Structure 1
Amino acid sequence: MTTQPTARHRADVAPDALPVPATDGSVAQWTDRYSHAVMDTFGPPQRVLVRGEGPYVWDADGRRYLDLLGGIAVNSLGHAHPTLTAAISAQLGTLGHVSNFFGSPTQIAFAETLLALAGAPEGSRVFLTNSGTEANEAAFKLARRTGRPRILALENAFHGRSMGALALTWKPAYREPFEPLPGGVEFVPFGDAGALADAMGDDVAALFVEPIQGEAGVRPLPPGYLAEARRLTREHGALLILDEVQTGMGRTGRWFAHQHDHLGGGVVPDAVTVAKGLGGGFPVGALIAYGPQVAALLGRGQHGTTFGGNPVASAAALATIGVIERDDLLAHVSELGAWIREAVAALQHLLVTDVRGDGLLVAIELAGPVSAAVAARALDAGFIVNPCTPTTLRLAPPFVLTQDQAQTFVDFLAALPADPTELTA
């Protein structure tokens, strides 16, 4: 005998009959409720956002903001993109989640697509995750499977907050509260090929490196560094693992930052981690292992994930990649990013000492530790930016941003006082 679902479990129940959290209330009211319900790991929210469209978001008070951070390089298609939302809805209406005892067409197609975009050789494989830190955690375990005791990472690196990824992360303020961390990780100076050569040896399992250090202030590796890193790791039998969590999936105008001649110069890594913009806002990440020998380092039962590669996340990633290809957004990212950097530099503003980056990952260096004050002024003026270091503003906007929209932020910068002390007075 089979039982019928009750009304509360039936698919034909009208959506408006289901309890949905109300969005009415002011930013102040929601912030107060946040403080009593959400763990205080991020501090109070700067605003409480209720909806978005394209590169814009609105807060609970009805104020509109140009989102020039994109959820920290996540919302590559902006907010509420119709193709992405349709793909997620369609997949969820067909098959939402299965365990990894089973496969799904979207999961398999997604993995195949990633391998193709990465230019990975025959025998390469993908491990699908939910986030960048999980992708780096998987890569950490991949390195451990070599049997070698030492892992190298760069000073000022950021690879995530889980224990393995945190062990690869340089910043003492992130590391020290959770020590002892997994051991064997050593940090070498950023961009110093000579120091890397001195640290390298036949007991090194892997070198972890970001082609552009995002959290450290959008700092690209010097030209030729990755090529030398590849030569050294190959000479000593170590893995070269590239963290492209922030820089991958079109953020710099190529699918992966190391595909640029000035960053990678044709380097083929042993593994790449990716997340953030991969799902256009839906949580998804991946570890790409290049070639059969590297892919075989993690065998059956040696790693796992409940949600990684689920059909909905896979559908979101496929839709995001499809829109980027369909709308030629890689070219747009390159062109608009170059325009933003040139427009900011052309201001010749005394407050701005440098502007750098690739594609739509841009850093604006300021003449003093006033980035937080500038970011606060920007928010009040309707712009979301990130003070990633005391002297650096980071921009990582959606790929759908237009030049006219970007111009409004350039105009905001132009109106800032030239004297840093006026920003903190």
Structure 2
Amino acid sequence: MTNALSEAIGRAETALTDRIPGGGSPLAGLTDAALADIVGRDPASVEDACYLAALLQALRRHDDARRILRTAAASLPASPGTDITRRAAALNRLSVRMASLGALEEASHWLRQAIQTIPASAPALLHARTHANLASVHAQREEFRQAAVASQRARQYLGPGNDAEPVEALDVRGLLAAVDAALARSANDRDRLSQALGDFRGSSRGTLTHPAADADEGRRYREISALTARAALEFDEARSTRSQPRLEQLTGLFETLASKSAATLGADHPQTVAVLLDLACAEFETARGTGDLDRLERAAHTLGAAAGRAAQCFGEGHPLTHAAVENRAIAAEHLALARASSLPAAPGSGPRSGAAPPGAGAGASPTGSGRGTVRGGAREPGEEPVSSSRAGTGCSTWWGAAAWARCGGRATRRWADRSP
């Protein structure tokens, strides 16, 4: 039996796969009142609402996507006989999807609502996931103290790991490892960053090789997003040790992942665009270390193109777009300094103040598609970049992966299979 929500999903899928200009009219017949009635009668339909929001995001209808999520969230408290535990799980899904749209404050609000209402008798994994998601949102907002508190609470519910853990628990551990990496960068703690990378390697390996993973229809997406997040953390570590050969190797890995994501999910899929943002930042940072002005110019051009892709995919107001645009400006500034330093000095002139040779770190560095610097506030000359998976948080892309994998289910695969 179909309803207005499932019919809207079908129209949105058709608009996406058939590349209908403007996305057509996928929401025809799905009024706010109709959606509220559907979710009110069946809170489990929140999953379909999240998937519809994901499709609308891919169609560049960001305002419509946010409206769908807000309507679904507002209808939950009025659902007759709604189980509090199911309501908390629904708020988790809605907050993850809303965060992927860049509305971090609303996502944080819904997660706090869930935490306040989850009964003590609810599964420990639900408690852990909710606190971990909140830690991720705090980290994306560069609220590192609050992120650390939420992360600690999530681990208390999660307990020590074991070989029999469900794949969902491994997902949460991976998210917490990414948050740890953000906290390590904010404190400039190289040892802690290495530890977080080790934890993430373990959790992502466990997720992808888990017996239940083969039955997960979002496996291909999960694989790409997990490998991208791991590559971003590996790049962070290589940059902290100034290992140019490793930076070159990881830049090549980002290229491979970008190609794989485009072939698997589609060139315009948000995950593909996120990988391209990582790749652009990696190319520029690697070029800085070579002293090759031509390569630096090509990398700066790539960052500019990436900013345009981010604006098209995520919308002008998304945090990823803001950081991508900022990266473009930072790259242009650094390139100008590098060009100036390569000019021959005028007869009798001494060294030019403020000029620096290519790769010397003069000027600010790009921060990737995320939330700006890991320290927050104004960027100082010579600051190091972070990529989109790090996003000032170390976890935005991986956190987004949770949104696509958990909120799409079979529908995520159906869409991905039909993407060009």
Q: TM-score scaled to structure 2, two decimals?
A: 0.26
